[in-house]
Protein backbone atom coordinates (compact mmCIF):
# COMPACT_ATOMS: atom_id res chain seq x y z
CA UNK A 1 0.00 0.00 0.00
CA UNK A 2 1.03 3.60 -0.49
CA UNK A 3 1.46 5.95 2.47
CA UNK A 4 1.85 5.37 6.16
CA UNK A 5 -0.48 3.07 8.03
CA UNK A 6 -2.47 4.57 10.89
CA UNK A 7 -1.84 1.94 13.53
CA UNK A 8 -4.17 2.96 16.36
CA UNK A 9 -7.27 2.02 14.35
CA UNK A 10 -8.50 -1.58 14.00
CA UNK A 11 -9.26 -1.11 10.30
CA UNK A 12 -6.46 -1.06 7.73
CA UNK A 13 -6.20 2.70 7.11
CA UNK A 14 -3.44 4.67 5.39
CA UNK A 15 -2.55 8.36 5.09
CA UNK A 16 -0.94 9.58 1.86
CA UNK A 17 0.63 12.92 1.01
CA UNK A 18 -0.21 14.36 -2.41
CA UNK A 19 1.44 17.37 -4.01
CA UNK A 20 -0.49 20.51 -4.83
CA UNK A 21 1.27 21.95 -7.86
CA UNK A 22 -0.51 25.29 -7.36
CA UNK A 23 1.13 25.78 -3.95
CA UNK A 24 4.77 24.67 -4.12
CA UNK A 25 5.46 25.28 -0.43
CA UNK A 26 6.75 21.98 0.93
CA UNK A 27 4.82 19.39 2.88
CA UNK A 28 2.32 21.88 4.33
CA UNK A 29 1.18 22.96 0.86
CA UNK A 30 -0.18 19.62 -0.28
CA UNK A 31 -3.16 17.40 0.27
CA UNK A 32 -3.73 14.43 2.55
CA UNK A 33 -5.74 11.40 1.52
CA UNK A 34 -7.02 8.95 4.10
CA UNK A 35 -8.17 5.60 2.74
CA UNK A 36 -9.24 2.23 4.08
CA UNK A 37 -8.30 -1.11 2.56
CA UNK A 38 -11.40 -3.30 2.72
CA UNK A 39 -9.98 -6.17 0.64
CA UNK A 40 -7.21 -6.63 -1.95
CA UNK A 41 -9.63 -5.42 -4.62
CA UNK A 42 -11.62 -2.79 -2.67
CA UNK A 43 -10.18 0.47 -1.35
CA UNK A 44 -12.41 3.15 0.17
CA UNK A 45 -11.40 6.81 0.09
CA UNK A 46 -12.48 8.30 3.42
CA UNK A 47 -11.37 11.92 3.10
CA UNK A 48 -9.16 14.34 1.18
CA UNK A 49 -8.11 17.59 2.83
CA UNK A 50 -5.67 20.42 2.19
CA UNK A 51 -2.83 20.43 4.68
CA UNK A 52 -3.06 24.23 4.78
CA UNK A 53 -6.71 24.00 5.94
CA UNK A 54 -6.33 21.25 8.52
CA UNK A 55 -3.03 20.26 10.13
CA UNK A 56 -4.04 16.71 10.96
CA UNK A 57 -7.03 14.47 11.37
CA UNK A 58 -7.45 12.54 14.59
CA UNK A 59 -7.94 8.80 14.93
CA UNK A 60 -11.31 9.55 16.51
CA UNK A 61 -12.37 11.50 13.42
CA UNK A 62 -11.20 8.69 11.12
CA UNK A 63 -13.16 6.15 13.16
CA UNK A 64 -16.23 8.39 12.86
CA UNK A 65 -15.80 8.61 9.08
CA UNK A 66 -15.58 4.81 8.83
CA UNK A 67 -18.67 4.39 10.98
CA UNK A 68 -20.65 6.96 8.96
CA UNK A 69 -19.65 5.31 5.70
CA UNK A 70 -20.84 1.87 6.72
CA UNK A 71 -24.02 3.05 8.47
CA UNK A 72 -25.49 4.69 5.35
Residue 9's pLDDT band (cuts 50, 70, 90)? very high
Considering its fold, how many domains does the chain have in total?
1
Query: Which residues span the domain enclosing 11?
Result: 4-70
Please give the mean pLDDT across all residues of the chain.
Answer: 87
In the predicted model, is pLDDT for residue 33 greater than 90?
A: yes
Residue 68 main-chain phi, psi, to 5 deg = -60, -40
| 8 conformational bin, left if phi > 0, alpha if psi -120 to 50, beta if neither | alpha
For residues 37 and 1, the answer to whether their CB atoms sit within 8 Å is yes
For residue 50, the model assigns a pLDDT of 87
**pLDDT tens digit sequence for 39-67:** 999 999 999 998 878 778 899 999 999 99
Q: Model's pTM, two decimal places?
A: 0.82
Q: 34 to each of 18, 37, 60, how far by Cα in Å?
A: 11, 10, 13
Q: Report the C-alpha gap between 70 and 62 in whole angstroms.
A: 13
Amino acid sequence: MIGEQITDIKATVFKVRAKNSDIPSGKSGGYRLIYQVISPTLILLLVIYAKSDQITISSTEIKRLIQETFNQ
